[in-house]
């Protein structure tokens, strides 16, 4: 079978998640191409060496060599946000396919440049919006598209966690302005992408960005924080629905609260990533008095669940969403583009919304998209 040489940059949370996903895609699916783990790069060279050995990469190197290594056909980028742009551009310049973590870039200009470069290079390009791979969310989208909920009228979308909820939580790269840091970039990008996945284009928005904690501990002292701890947004979708969106990393008790409610003229859908195998559906038109929110459980009637387990209610985990994303990426590399996945164009749309949120908040006004 044809093999694809993989170069992975970054060995943090997502670096490992990518590595696992490449392995698991192979063990789980009958793929059209097989990934070969060629090279692993990290700022910390010793760590790169150790991880390369542990994770089955043939070698470790610096990222520039990786990007230019002829054996590398796909570059997976899992470094902090600010590095997505230079690494992607270098990879595209070298003619490599790119699988970049979200958010695509720090500024909309960079995002545009990346999208254009990818288009010009004509290579497969994907962004790590893994949550959209959840078969329950694909079901959600199908229900919306099939008209099960009627015409969509209302929406609430949210992505909240609490890892910065303690005012003494330390400054990290996620707090740097030059990383387009902040909850909006870090978490908001996911809920923006999910909102688009479910309801399509946003026509206009009005936003409020809020920095609750203006300083954070940093290297023994304190450092000023300029990015947002939370964002609140009014949304009007092109399909006519109105709603709200919130994202925050201050919300105690929320560990992975990527959640939405979609309201239509005939029914309602609700979801919370903290129970990623469930979907709550309310439909009108049944026997009077016997309506109510129904808790659907994931199961093998959903092909992307069946790929992992033939029994309902046994549950997929977070890593398996990444495996699904990598599968879809590998199939795209094999020329089989039928599977879902977020490409640079779509990730750019997310950045466009994020930029609109920033503009709107700064100027305190509605922004048409």
Burial classification of residue 285, based on how many CB atoms lie within 10 Å of its CB (0-12 exposed, 13-18 middle, 19 or more buried): exposed
Closer residue to a copy of itself, CB minimum distance, 54 or 109: 54
Measure CA 295 to chain center: 25
Report if residue 230 touches a copy of itself, rule: CB under 8 A.
yes
Partner from a copy of itself, ligand NAI, none binding residue 336, C-beta < 5-8 Å depending on class: none
Return d(Cα 36, Cα 362) in angstroms, integer: 46
> What are the Cα distances from residue 101, in Å, to 42, 75, 140, 174, 194?
15, 11, 24, 14, 15
Closest distance of CB 35 from ligand NAI, Å: 18
Among 277, 246, 243, smallest CA distance to 262 is for 243
3-state SS class at 99: strand
Site for a copy of itself in 146-205 (CB under 8 A): 153-154, 156, 158, 161, 163, 165-167
Closest distance of CB 112 from a copy of itself, Å: 28
Closer residue to a copy of itself, CB minimum distance, 110 or 320: 320
Closest distance of CB 285 from a copy of itself, Å: 10
Partner from ligand NAI, a copy of itself, none binding residue 42, C-beta < 5-8 Å depending on class: ligand NAI
Closest distance of CB 80 from ligand NAI, Å: 6
Closer residue to ligand NAI, CB minimum distance, 33 or 40: 40
- Write down the residue that tokens 């962004």 correspond to: 127
Closest distance of CB 138 from a copy of itself, Å: 11
> What are the Cα distances from residue 197, in Å, to 141, 234, 292, 309?
7, 18, 26, 25
Closer residue to a copy of itself, CB minimum distance, 111 or 316: 316
Closest distance of CB 170 from ligand NAI, Å: 13
**Torsion-angle region of 92 (φ positive above 0: left; ψ -120 to 50: alpha; else: beta):** alpha
3-state SS class at 287: coil
Closer residue to a copy of itself, CB minimum distance, 180 or 367: 367
Contact footprint for ligand NAI (CB under 6 A): 9-15, 41-44, 63, 78-81, 83, 101-102, 128, 130, 186
Determine the interface stretch with a copy of itself among 186-194, 302-310, 325-333, 350-358 (rule: CB under 8 A): 302-310
Closer residue to ligand NAI, CB minimum distance, 100 or 367: 100
Report if residue 32 touches a copy of itself, rule: CB under 8 A.
no
Determine the interface stretch with a copy of itself among 73-81, 214-222, 225-233, 346-354 (rule: CB under 8 A): 225-233
Partner from a copy of itself, ligand NAI, none binding residue 226, C-beta < 5-8 Å depending on class: none
Report if residue 17 touches a copy of itself, rule: CB under 8 A.
yes
Query: What are the φ/ψ torsions at residue 366 (nearest 5 degrees)?
Result: -70, 145
| Pairing status of strand 74-77 against strand 3-9 | parallel
> What are the Cα distances from residue 4, in Å, to 37, 51, 97, 344, 351?
8, 20, 10, 20, 29
Closest distance of CB 283 from ligand NAI, Å: 27
Of 63, 159, 271, 308, which lies in the binding site for a copy of itself, with binding defined by CB under 8 A?
308
Query: What are the φ/ψ torsions at residue 253 (nearest 5 degrees)?
Result: 95, -20
Closer residue to a copy of itself, CB minimum distance, 123 or 192: 192
| Number of neighbours of residue 58 by Cβ within 10 angstroms | 13
Return d(Cα 248, Cα 231) in angstroms, integer: 6
């Amino acid at each position: 079978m044809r093999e694809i040489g993989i170069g992975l940059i970054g060995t943090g949370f997502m670096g490992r998640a990518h590595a696992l996903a490449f392995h698991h895609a192979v063990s789980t699916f009958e793929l059209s191409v097989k990934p070969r783990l060629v090279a692993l790069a990290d700022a910390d060279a010793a760590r790169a060496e150790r991880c390369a050995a542990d994770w089955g990469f043939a070698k470790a190197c610096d990222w520039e060599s990786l990007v230019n290594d002829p054996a590398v056909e796909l570059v997976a980028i899992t470094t902090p946000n600010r590095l997505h742009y230079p690494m992607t551009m270098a990879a595209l310049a070298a003619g490599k396919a790119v699988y970049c973590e979200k958010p695509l870039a720090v500024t909309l200009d960079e995002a545009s440049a990346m999208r254009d470069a990818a288009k010009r290079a004509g290579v497969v390009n994907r962004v790590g919006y893994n949550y959209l791979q959840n078969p329950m969310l694909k079901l959600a989208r199908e229900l919306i598209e099939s008209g099960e909920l009627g015409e969509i009228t209302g929406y609430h979308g949210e992505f909240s966690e609490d890892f910065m909820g303690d005012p003494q939580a330390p400054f990290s790269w996620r707090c740097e302005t030059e990383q387009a840091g902040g909850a909006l970039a870090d978490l908001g990008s996911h809920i923006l992408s999910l909102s688009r996945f479910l309801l399509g284009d946003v026509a206009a928005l009005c936003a409020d960005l809020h920095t609750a904690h203006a300083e954070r501990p940093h290297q023994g002292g304190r450092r000023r924080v300029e990015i947002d701890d939370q964002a609140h947004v009014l949304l009007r979708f092109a399909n006519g629905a109105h709603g709200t969106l919130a994202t925050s990393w201050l919300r105690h008790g929320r560990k992975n609260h990527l959640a939405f409610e979609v309201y239509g003229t005939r029914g309602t859908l609700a979801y919370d990533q903290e129970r990623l195998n469930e979907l709550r559906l309310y439909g009108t038109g049944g026997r009077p008095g016997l309506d109510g929110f129904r808790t659907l459980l994931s199961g093998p009637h959903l092909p992307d669940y069946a790929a992992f387990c033939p029994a309902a209610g046994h549950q997929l985990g977070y890593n398996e969403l990444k495996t699904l994303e990598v599968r879809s990426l590998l199939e795209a590399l094999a020329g089989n583009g039928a599977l879902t996945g977020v490409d640079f164009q779509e990730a750019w749309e997310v950045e466009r919304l994020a930029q609109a949120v920033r503009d709107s908040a700064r100027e305190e006004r509605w922004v048409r998209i």
